[in-house]
Amino acid sequence: MTIAADPSTLRDEIAARLDTARKRTQRLTDCLDEDELLRQHSPLMSPLVWDLAHVANQEELWLLRGVGGRDPMHPEIDPLYDAFEHPRAKRPTLPLLPPGEARSYAHEVRGRVLDLLERVSFSTGQLVEHGFAFGMIAQHEQQHDETMLATHQLRKGSPVLRAQAPEPAPADVLRLPAEVFVPGGIFTMGTSTEPWALDNERPAHPVDVPPFYLDTTPVTNAAYIGFIEARGYDDQRLWSQAGWEYRQKADLAAPLFWERGGAGQWLRRRFGITEPVPAAEPVMHVSWYEADAYARWAGRRLPSEAEWEKAARFDQASGRSRRYPWGDAEPTPARANLGQHHLQPAPAGSYPQGAAPSGARQLIGDVWEWTASDFRPYPGFVAYPYREYSEVFFGTDYKVLRGGAFSADPVACRGTFRNWDFPIRRQIFSGFRTARDSDLA
Ligand SMILES: [Fe+2]
């Protein structure tokens, strides 16, 4: 976000971001009864009531205790809501706060945080500079809201969430080239100036990226059905060794939540509604292994993380990296499908106002995009404000996803924002686009 220089505007911005996150948390939890909030809808996820008190507990830890120097409100509950102490599968067995108590704890913490915000000086250290800790907490709640939305998608039962479908793609989609060219050369990756960027996005550093071609839009359901119908799931040559082993073990045959309907039609379940798979929408709920196999089938490959970011941010004309594909201005509903305004991605080729200088569309919003890259630190990385934010996840276990999805809020989605997950993950709102080398050296 663009950070105001004067403290009173910054206070207002922070309060608004915290409020947006809390309203979304309420929207995701007020629609379910106590039993549904306490139930574990999938072993992959926490009960929603855990997320509810966990966001409040983190807010208390970082803002009331960390920034405000207050004593713990309920020290006995801290261990219950420590994500590193209890894996998701075990969380239902913990003596968690029941929904009513979790809500009043969150409400009380928020009230005290807003009092603190009125009086805090933003010049007393790195944690509060430009309101960083407050921004981190707004992002944290939004990231849990996204996880809670994934829990809703996994939940069985009648639909409780509703939203308008996105606009159909504009007419110029028919004239879009299948791929865009990104010239070779050095560009600036990451950021040292974005005030609420997290440690793993820092610092800005030069990266030399050879010329390449990138899909103009994410891969669509129609294109992905081509891979399925060509028996791509049965052709071991298309899969990495680990991918093939997982495909066999998990018996993968289509994206998660898909099933075959009559007359060769594919159906999908989306937030409790079963509907025909829309051909023009970006494919979603595929693992990294499936994305990798599809790309090989198409005679292409996944883009590296650096390629993705260069296509999204680098402006050849000015020689600089933008904050977002469209420029430095904040996301709007006309530029990107973010913030759970719609409960699905928009058709491929939508959002011409959000296009990058390269001509690629929907790099921000719609679906998270798997990249070829492992999650690794940038040169000069410094863990902040704690090792467990990113550093403990670096290595070869996780693949990077970029660009956010309809399920991600703008506060937790930047041109530099990095997400990471295991290559087997499918319950997340993950899609991809493909790339190929250019023979122009
Ligand atoms: Fe968390």
Q: How far is the CA of 63 from the centre of ligand 1 (A)?
A: 14
Distance 151 CA to ligand 1 centre (A): 15
Position 1 scores a pLDDT of 62
For residue 23, the surrounding DSSP H or E stretch is: helix 7-29
User: How many Å lie between the centroid of ligand 1 and the Cα of residue 62?
Assistant: 12
Tokens of residue 385, six digits: 């404000």
CA of 120 to the centre of ligand 1 (A): 24
What Å distances lie between residue 379 and 79, 323, 368, 395, 413, CA to CA? 34, 20, 24, 14, 22
Give the Å distance between the CA of 170 and the centre of ligand 1.
38
State the distance from the centre of ligand 1 to the C-alpha of 420, rounded, in angstroms: 14
Q: What are phi and psi of 279, to 5 degrees?
A: -60, -40
Of 52, 62, 177, the residue nearest 120 (C-alpha): 62
From the CA of 55, how far away is ligand 1's center (Å)? 7
pLDDT score, position 388: 87
Q: How remote is the CA of residue 295 from the centroid of ligand 1, in Å?
A: 33
pLDDT at residue 83, rounded to an integer: 85
Q: Are 432 and 154 in contact (CB under 8 A)?
A: no
Q: How far is the CA of 230 from the centre of ligand 1 (A)?
A: 41
Residue 441 pLDDT: 56
CB distance 288 to 399 below 8 Å = yes
Angle subtended by helix axes 132-154 and 48-59, to nearest 10: 180
Q: What's the 147 CA to ligand 1 centre distance in angstroms?
A: 10
Q: How far apart are CA 441 and CA 438, in angstroms?
A: 7
Determine phi and psi for 370, rounding to 5 degrees: -65, 140
Ligand 1 centroid – CA 83 distance (Å): 6
What distance in angstroms lies between residue 243's CA and the mean position of ligand 1's atoms?
A: 29
Strand-strand pairing, 179-182 and 212-215: antiparallel
Separation of CA 166 and ligand 1 centre (Å): 29
Q: How far is the CA of 143 from the centre of ligand 1 (A)?
A: 8
Residue 97 near residue 49 (C-beta atoms within 8 A) = yes
The CA 330 to ligand 1 mean position distance, Å, reads: 25
Ligand 1 centroid, distance to 131 Cα (angstroms):
19
Q: What is the whole-number distance in angstroms between the Cα of residue 27 and the centre of ligand 1?
A: 19
* Helix 7-29 / helix 99-119 crossing angle, nearest 10 deg: 170
Give this prediction's pTM: 0.96
**Running along the chain, 441 residues long, what does each successive block of 10 average in pLDDT?**
81 98 98 95 93 97 97 94 87 91 98 97 93 98 98 94 94 95 97 97 98 98 98 98 98 98 94 97 98 98 98 97 98 97 98 97 98 98 93 97 98 97 98 93 56
What's the 272 CA to ligand 1 centre distance in angstroms? 26
Residue 57 Cα to ligand 1 middle (Å): 9
Determine the distance separating the centroid of ligand 1 and the alpha carbon of 52, expressed in angstroms.
Answer: 10
pLDDT in tens, 44-53: 999 999 999 9
Query: Distance, CA 200 to ligand 1 centroid (Å)?
Result: 16
Q: What is the Å distance from ligand 1's center to 59 Cα?
A: 10
Instruction: Tell me the pairing of strands 435-437 and 266-270.
Output: unpaired
DSSP state of 431: E
